[in-house]
Amino acid sequence: MSATSEEGRAGQRDVEQALVRLLTMYSAVSRSLSEWEQYCLSSALVFERHGYFEKALIKIGEVFEPPIPLPSFPKPPPITLDDISRHVAAAAESDPGRVDIKGVIK
């Protein structure tokens, strides 16, 4: 099975909605992202950028329910909730009806 047909079940909208849910949940918490969360979210953005939406959703899910024990993972590039917020805002600007970001993005 090709990568395209495997990834056809989820779409970019699904990933962006998952990111909005993440931002909504984390907006009440004022702390930095852990290295695991940074790794998952930076991976999710890369997967989304290249059209691997199912894999992006899995990585976002692993932010909420990390595997136990945590596997070894490379040191992630620094990423913040503000970076995720800007990513979602840029997507919303390019296609205004695609994602509901009211009350999430400042």
pLDDT in tens, 40-93: 999 999 999 999 999 999 999 999 999 999 999 999 999 999 999 999 998 888
Which residues make Cβ contacts (< 8 Å) with residue 27, sequence separation at least 6? 81, 104
**Listed residue (76, 93, 78) closest to 59, CA to CA:** 76
**Predicted confidence band at 10 (pLDDT cuts at 50, 70, 90)?**
confident
CB half-sphere exposure, 91, CA atoms < 13 A? 22
- At 47, list the tokens: 């997967």
- For the segment 3-13, the average pLDDT, to the nearest whole number, is 65
| Residue 59 neighbours by CB distance under 10 Å | 22
Q: How much is the pLDDT for 106?
A: 42
CA 20 – CA 3 distance, rounded (Å) = 26
CA 41 – CA 39 distance, rounded (Å) = 6
